[in-house]
Chains A and B, each alone.
Chain A
């Protein structure tokens, strides 16, 4: 079976796949090149895909190597998922200091996209918590590096989109917690103007913040939504029981179940959910990973797949450009199910190609409706590019090369670190 990315677009077949299982074994040199690591395919797009050469499947590299429960330092193979890590460390009082919205990403994938979470404003991105990593190069050499690496290998590999070689193992600094629960609060805001002050206030007081936006609402309600915030619960919290719900999307419909009608209904309902301004307890699984509750949820978009669109807009332009983006979407009535808005903090980027940077990030999902979708996305590109923003490679299957290059000005310097035996469809698309 050909590996896909999470949005099931594009569908491209490599010449070969090779399942790695032994960290001591290196990369066999008889494999068709170029090579590319494929973690758990939780990217949306083609950073984890190649049309030529060999995909190196890393899920078999999922062993723990060493864990120091006193200091919260974990060394593991790069194909371990964040779920594997949490299952080991949460009961021992340690949490990932940065986590994306799915725990099915691998540690290697989290490094290669330098992923961010709801606490970027206080904790930076995933790469900020990596103490050390080991990189396999296609010429058989092995590079060990950490954040203070003078050679630049670390900064190139964090956010390096898998192009600097295969990340074989990673050493992470975890964060202490008292229990698996969070105190969370949520507030409704009536439009985008109301979001900004509310968000500033929440960021000053909470380590985790994120907002959902009803992007079908228009006029004075444009940008209405719900802001959620959370913090890890204290030691003496009175904890309820938690049982994870496990559902799956059982069918693979030929067309998208996300359409104008279902979206309108969903958004209206979601917006009216009860809010918890005074705080309530939430287990970490539903708090951080609401979508993980439904296995294969990506199937609701049908076999044609869907596009994610995640941009970041610099602070100066954030308010106006976000409004313009919402305008463009509402105008074309192609609203998105998951419209997520968050502001990033000011931590200097951990990697040369890191996406997270000061500013506001908006993430959207669109069912693939062919040309109509393409032209909407092109309109959004114009707004992002005029605002001096960038798109997230982890969530991209179509950005124009120029937008990549303007959003990631270090891309040429980065190219020096690319392993000549590695490439991806993404990289071939966005660079000459």
Chain B
């Protein structure tokens, strides 16, 4: 099985990446900055919010939890492509990719190892913020199901943004270009999709007023809204978010056609797989023909 996946738990690329990553000053620095940002905003918010209150309300802790989660998601959206956007192009620029490709390591193995090592590092970042979560969780108001929802969204997002950076890195020769494009695309995923969805929702409402004289609703907006990572994550706490008031008379919870987190995974896991597939193809020097040409 491992052989077919072209992957082993500890293969040399992983070992080297981990070793290299743990040896530079960049790693603890990035970890420290990350914790400072997440912790600083959370505790800053708590301080401002609660410093003049005598007791806490669970509902407000939920709000804080939501802010913390969204913040972390956006950070994943920026750290993941940043880490992967230089992996393949970096090897190219360092003139080490060719050598690597003449070894027994398959392009699949190279790409997946690089992805896993980057994701493991983001995993470390997220894991390191657990104490912050624990403190917020202590205030109550969050169900374990919601917690699972948040972390599944994180996992899928890490895969998605990581694959996106990987794809750019395999596509472009220069790390600079690859990084800019990867950030552009993740910015679009994080913000662009939300703006487009809002526009679409507004347009449909307007259209319905004009044609039917009333607002009929457009529950299908869910399929667009839930594609936005932030809206999807918020829907773990506030399901109505992904309906944008287009529930068609029924309540938002009833109108949601499929569990948002599940939908998110069902769309983006295959998208990531496809991005990785094309990354591997772009890295392979001698391409296996997708469709064997008829013998001439």
> Are A and B associated in one complex?
no
